[in-house]
Structure 1
């Protein structure tokens, strides 16, 4: 493959040694370049040279020697000039908001085990990439490496912002929409007509300066809701990070204005920056629950009733958790939330004890690989990867243990849909990333994951996790997106026949 045909990936780091793990994160072939905010010593430069040589052995093409910014006109401005020359399609950045390792109570400031220049470089790169995307119209996808992540961990498990799993959804009018985060904001693709083959997009939706992550959920009426994190400057210096929400009431129509839900730790320039990425779910009454990790590393939530009124943030005491949450809806219509423990692979669950009751914490016997938690297609079920075998597993309410379902060759979470009819049986269908980012689908008899899952690799390499939706017409549609921002989709050939899909179409 020629360099021109390879996806263009740019690593931005504070200095050469900081770029080593980011270069290692690019496992697929790419046209790869490195930009450093400042120079490094001989040892740091040599470490990066070795990392780039290893990347070339994986099929990457290093398009230029590592470049060091001059600092003469500001990091953001210099990065923008470099982006205009290099035209990156994907950015690999450090963590813009590293989690603290301690807290200096006398000074009132958190303590970190990474230099502050790393976060500053990431924020400058995000600002430059946002301006680049707005000025050129070219999508830029961003992955930030979580500070403190294990150097030997798989690339899919070290991202700062959780993988967007349910980014393909059916709207109120039956048309499908796809939503993904980018440097410039939310990208949207829209189906022209229900069940049709024509799509519009990607369209960059107007909105505030969002961090590169997104939660997508659908309410009982078919309206789509988006949640993200927004950074805003403070009058006293620094920046606040808040949870924000917008909704789409008509496929292809404008979003509502982004509404700030604030932070579990408002008013403090340091504490508000550590709000975790939101996870949300609707219960049977129409109440929306939004959860996030707070500064104390425990769980906080805010609820909006069916009448539209928001309750204040509430803190739930209990286990210290990582920034990895997932909500599930039970068969009775209740919302539960799962989180991975802060310093282990243990999974913790919170559930309500009846309507109007308080939240109860359970220390489950489950153990999940980082970055793999997701809601299962069936009510109350949880999907995750075993931390030792990498095999996806299904946990069902009341089960003594989880059920392994094969598929250890892939990475990241697994998601799916229920109620798929096939040759007289009802199945739950699943989708995941396979080797090299391919789209892999599977199915098991609904309610019986122990009966086995038959996985089928459909190809269609995707730079983001593939998505699946089961619409009101009974059609199952799969979608992938490449690093160039091109959406590909395929639909099941028959709503009741074998579980087979047609050819891929690209917008």
Structure 2
């Protein structure tokens, strides 16, 4: 794993977030000041005590030589990382220059410069060697005590394992060079193919995966395009996968709610999306003003303009899901408090409404849409316990599982000894996958969690295979896909040993 930052002090929170057993290489633009060097030494010593290793001295870049991306590329070739961590390439503004009408960014420019160079280098490196590189960018201004999952500039992937119309499974994950896909064979004996890099624009290292009403997979991301004058254009894009294993459809631009100014547009948050009962696609993003903007596309392709919902100032954490019998729900974590807001629309012609009094207090990085219709999962900010809530519920329901970090994935309708159950997967202690279950529709009964397998480089995902078995997928620290299948007919919920693909 490579940490590429401007200086030693910038590496400290990234080192502190690394799990036991990580092999960490450090790359700095400069050696930093004495205080930063002492903080680095303390973080390294603490990481070594919990089992991390540092193979050598930090690599130093030479700013005077220019071409930081080229220097980082050469270093990546030398160390061959599967994971890369850096800082925010596009830190948000802290004020407005009223005279120039431009955002004021107080983050040291070197931090963003190194982060953007690291992303370019990692993309080039992956394209050359063919091995996926999983990237995480730590959000500027985040509390140094927060773990990585709680302050990523681009959301960690969830729901990335989908069942196609033919019953075969596909796994989609964001990497430095774009989206990679693993595809299940037509028989279990065939195994899986991949990772295959899917063609597309230059994407930032995040991905939203959504299964449409017709069973197709939809991938959403942020693309970055260099401008001829200066800066870069950032816009929301999506593509559809119509047949398992076949080429991805063309990437379509949804635009950017702040497209009139590239300086503002680069701060746009990561998209969340859902389809309503009529088949309309709704795409939500956090805009420059830290409220939410939404755009709608009909099944015939007609797209509305961006609509700013106003109201609550939100963080880069949104989830969306269809309402019954019509309309859409969206839940967003608040920017400045440990709370969330609920936005909803009864149908395409109705105005958006907002409710800030919902009993949802999410720990950063934990909001997700549940497999059960109309349900949201999150970790309670006060205890880190996994909870569920649905619109109209007066209180959330706790599911236990305070260990680990991040969001929770799962499936509903699993057969466990003849009972229909919801199976949940999440990151447990040290990133090891934890599995739990409860009867469908009865989360109040409680969940018994059990850890299984090795640490994963990404949050675990779950889906059904063509035989109705629950399949859990992770990615090993070596970058390989690992899969475990439910053993139907067993006493309780049991899975096969992990297989590597």
Is 2:55 aligned against 1:63?
Answer: yes
Is 2:29 aligned against 1:28?
Answer: no
Q: Which of 177, 181, 206 is the equivalent residue of 2:174?
A: 181
Is contact 1:36–1:67 with CA below 8 Å preserved after alignment? yes
Is contact 1:214–1:227 with CA below 8 Å preserved after alignment? yes
Is contact 1:211–1:228 with CA below 8 Å preserved after alignment? yes
Is 2:439 aligned against 1:477?
Answer: no
CA 260–355 in structure 1, closer or farther in 2 if over 3 Å, else same: closer
Measured in 1, the distance between the counterparts of 2:477 and 2:419 equals 37
Measured in 1, the distance between the counterparts of 2:390 and 2:238 equals 30
> Helix, strand or coil for the counterpart of 1:62?
coil
Is contact 1:421–1:496 with CA below 8 Å preserved after alignment? no
Q: Which of 215, 218, 225 is the equivalent residue of 1:225?
A: 218
- 1:264 maps to which residue? 257
Worse overlay, 196-205 or 430-439: 196-205
Structure 1 residue 84 displacement after superposition: 0.9
- 1:326 maps to which residue? 319
> Helix, strand or coil for the counterpart of 1:270?
helix
Worse overlay, 395-404 or 34-43: 34-43
Measured in 2, the distance between the counterparts of 1:358 and 1:162 equals 28
Measured in 1, the distance between the counterparts of 2:189 and 2:397 equals 37
Is contact 2:328–2:346 with CA below 8 Å preserved after alignment? no
CA 496–225 in structure 1, closer or farther in 2 if over 3 Å, else same: farther
Q: Which of 266, 278, 288 is the equivalent residue of 1:273?
A: 266
Is contact 1:174–1:194 with CA below 8 Å preserved after alignment? no
Structure 1 residue 333 displacement after superposition: 5.1
- 2:6 maps to which residue? 14
Unaligned runs of at least 5 residues, structure 2:
none
- 2:183 maps to which residue? 190
Q: TM-score, normalised by structure 2?
A: 0.96
Residues 252-294 of structure 1, C-alpha deviations (whole Å, 9 max, x = no match) = 1111121111101102121101111000011111111110011
Measured in 2, the distance between the counterparts of 1:496 and 1:173 equals 26
- After superposition, residues 69-468 of structure 1 pair within 5 angstroms as 69-71=61-63, 72-193=65-186, 198-332=191-325, 334-363=327-356, 364-468=358-462
> Helix, strand or coil for the counterpart of 2:56?
coil
Structure 1 residue 118 displacement after superposition: 0.5
CA 73–105 in structure 1, closer or farther in 2 if over 3 Å, else same: closer
Measured in 2, the distance between the counterparts of 1:219 and 1:17 equals 44
Measured in 2, the distance between the counterparts of 1:76 and 1:458 equals 39
Structure 1 residue 197 displacement after superposition: 5.9
Measured in 2, the distance between the counterparts of 1:394 and 1:125 equals 37
Structure 1 residue 422 displacement after superposition: 2.3
- After superposition, residues 36-47 of structure 1 pair within 5 angstroms as 36-47=28-39
Structure 1 residue 312 displacement after superposition: 1.7
Is contact 1:425–1:445 with CA below 8 Å preserved after alignment? yes
Is contact 1:13–1:94 with CA below 8 Å preserved after alignment? yes
CA 495–397 in structure 1, closer or farther in 2 if over 3 Å, else same: farther
Measured in 2, the distance between the counterparts of 1:497 and 1:335 equals 40
Residues 39-63 of structure 1, C-alpha deviations (whole Å, 9 max, x = no match) = 3223322322222222211211111
Worse overlay, 358-367 or 212-221: 358-367
Measured in 1, the distance between the counterparts of 2:453 and 2:19 equals 17
Measured in 2, the distance between the counterparts of 1:176 and 1:308 equals 27
> Helix, strand or coil for the counterpart of 1:44?
helix
Worse overlay, 193-202 or 280-289: 193-202
- 1:6 maps to which residue? none
Measured in 1, the distance between the counterparts of 2:414 and 2:326 equals 21
Aligned Cα RMSD in Å?
A: 1.6
Worse overlay, 333-342 or 373-382: 333-342
Worse overlay, 411-420 or 288-297: 411-420
> Helix, strand or coil for the counterpart of 1:228?
strand
Is contact 2:161–2:169 with CA below 8 Å preserved after alignment? yes
Measured in 2, the distance between the counterparts of 1:281 and 1:451 equals 29
Measured in 2, the distance between the counterparts of 1:282 and 1:409 equals 33
Is contact 1:475–1:495 with CA below 8 Å preserved after alignment? no
Kindly tell me the number of residue pairs found equivalent between the two proteins: 499
Q: Which runs of 4+ in 1 moved over 3 A?
A: 194-197
- After superposition, residues 479-498 of structure 1 pair within 5 angstroms as 479-494=473-488, 498=492
Is contact 1:176–1:194 with CA below 8 Å preserved after alignment? no
